[in-house]
Structures are given as structure tokens and as C-alpha cells.
Amino acid sequence: MKYNLSTELDKNQAISKFKKLLKEGKRIELKEIKPRRSLSANAYYHICVSLFAIEFGWTISEAKDELKKLCPFMRYEKESKKTGQTIVFYKQTSMMDSKQMAEYIEWIRNYSNMQGCYIPTPEEYYQGRERIDNTIEIHKQYL
């Protein structure tokens, strides 16, 4: 059950539920629900990746994979309990909150620019949206 602890009703319901579970000695999981990124941030992320993919001749999936590999804060390592080998994994953008996604998009824009591929800011995108969307549409069969 999800509760919004900024409202008295939900706060009281959460406390009652917690006391009941505590009294019964139940096992529970208590965690914060972090805000997800907005639909506009998600759409803009896909514009950025699409423009990057077009510039380098990759599919969107290939561009997403490559950008994650190149971005230092998108990678993490774990050691296999069975083999002891260290494995590299990549964060899922679907699990990122708004702040993390904004940082990743900014990294993509900066990295792309260093590679000679300018990706417009959100404001620039919305001003030239028709032209940029047409560019993506023309290349869609390759993405």
C-alpha cells in the first residue's frame, strides 16, 4: 500500500497499518517512493538519443548501449558470488528520477558536442521541433 505522508489521513492510516503489522510480528518492507521523470523529460531523452544515433549511424538501441558504456556514472560493477569474476552492469534509465535523468541528459549533450554532434537544449528543440522531428522521421527506418 502506498501512503502520502504529507496528508494527515494517509499518515494516520500508515501509522495504524504499521502498528497492526508490528503487533502481529509480520515481516514488512518500508521504502521511500521516489518521483519518476516526467513524460517530457522522457521524450526529450529519446530525441537526444535519436540525434546521436543518426549522427553515428547506429540504431537507437545501439546508441543507448554505447552512451551507457561511455558515461562513468551509468556503469557499476558486481562480483559474481559463484565465479568471483567482476561483471560490469549498466543502470536502467527507467529507474532514474528526474534529477538523475537531467544529469544523464546533460552528460549526453556534452559528450555528443565533444564528438562534433550538437544536440539542442530542450528550449531549442521546442523552437525547431518540426525540423528536428522531420530529421528523425527521415532516418526512422535505420533507427
pLDDT tens digits, one per residue of 112-122: 999 999 999 99
Q: Yes or no: say if 47 and 117 are a contact pair by the CB < 8 Å rule.
A: no
Q: How confident is the model at residue 132 (pLDDT cuts 50, 70, 90)?
A: very high
pLDDT tens digits, one per residue of 17-67: 989 999 999 999 888 776 666 778 889 999 999 999 999 999 999 999 999
**What are the boundaries of each domain within the chain?**
1-33, 39-142
How much helix, strand and coil, in percent to the nearest 5, is found in the chain? Answer: 60, 10, 30
Q: pTM higher than 0.85, yes or no?
A: no
